[in-house]
Amino acid sequence: MDRKRIYLSSPTMHGEEQEYVKEAFDTNWVAPLGPNVNAFEKEIAAYTDCGHAAALSSGTAAIHLALKLLDIKQGDVVFVSDLTFSASCNPIIYENASPVFIDAEPDTWNMSPEALKKAFEKYPSPKAVICVHLYGTPAKLKEIMEICGEHGVPLIEDAAESLGSTYQGKHTGTFGKYGIYSFNGNKIITTSGGGMFVSAEEEAAKKVTFYATQSRDPARHYQHSRIGYNYRMSNVTAGIGRGQLLHLEEHKAGKKEIYRQYQEAFADMPEITMNPLNPESDANCWLSCMTIGEGCAVTPDEVMDALEGINAESRPIWKPMHLQPFFAAYDFIAHNEDGSSVGEDIFNRGLCLPSDIKNTDEDMELIIRTVRECFKK
């Protein structure tokens, strides 16, 4: 196809990234650890006001080590958002624990406080709750924190998609006992691949750093008293992250503008509803999503096919975890009283629209026109 590719959410590079990477090469700090890693941790901690941070190879690794700190083990129950990517819950399986999937709620598409209450009634003693801030929109943290607090259960915030988002003026990832961010290639800022563990507790960040560097004891010889992991971030990729972080607010503004344009463009179409934003938050709008009205003859696949016809990338909403073949045997707690799944309904009727901040005005006009034409048939 001659037409240029319009991406869902591709990396947006600037120039400062190369300067930090060049410094790593010039000083021969190309291995894991080094000045860029240390500085990136401090800069993320300062930006989010989280307290302390540990740079890792992925957001998944950060969730895994958060569970390790909570001593999650075989037979333990962990509540986790159902409408998410599998990386949110795979680490529960790594530790041979049992996930219980908590349905989404319609207002934000995030973990339903009502379903969470039901889950505690059925499973009074879970070891942790993992709440995901889907597509960059903060969950109902006040309600979720209150429920977790009533039961004395720690909250892990999966803020992989919501770096830069705030709830009641405070950054996502900093409400729970532990938080995690992702710097995967399609995130709002990237290190190519990578993640960050954050906590108000300095000792927690130190323990994560210890586990992530193969749990090597402070001995002259190689000694290991605990199992370890090769989870630390490279000094080279941390340099990319440092350059990217300088532009995070710029990226966020671009993402929010894309959401605004879609919302305005489809405002006269009752068949289309944009993904809801939490009114108590300032979302980074990482991905702009839409759902198609119930009973409408147009399907998400037809819209995605039409977008592919103009060489524009889109994708389905995350398929809920309780519908995934691997996780089918684990329990699911629905939001609706009739047992139907809010997340499944969103998945069936929704799709993610092209949300790349490099989209031109012409790109956006073409995308919007293409989507609108799907509903004229």
**For each successive 10 residues of the chain (377 residues), what is the average pLDDT?**
89 97 94 92 98 98 98 98 98 98 98 98 98 98 98 98 98 98 97 96 97 91 93 97 98 98 98 98 98 96 98 98 98 98 98 98 98 93
Which domains does the chain show, CATH number per domain?
Answer: 16-245 (3.40.640.10), 248-374 (3.90.1150.10)
The distance in angstroms from the start CA to the end CA of the chain is 25
Question: Residue with structure tokens 């629905």?
Answer: 334
Position 89, amino acid:
C
Burial environment of residue 227 by CB neighbours within 10 A (0 to 12, 13 to 18, 19 or more): exposed
Question: Residue with structure tokens 């995350």?
Answer: 318
CA 99/CA 342 separation, integer angstroms: 19
pLDDT at residue 221, as a whole number: 93
81 Cα distance to chain centroid: 11
pLDDT at residue 33, as a whole number: 85
pLDDT at residue 86, as a whole number: 98
CA 235/CA 240 separation, integer angstroms: 9
pLDDT at residue 152, as a whole number: 98
Interval 320-363: pLDDT, tens: 999 999 999 999 999 999 999 999 999 999 999 999 999 999 99
pLDDT at residue 250, as a whole number: 98
- The DSSP symbol for 103 reads P
pLDDT at residue 1, as a whole number: 58
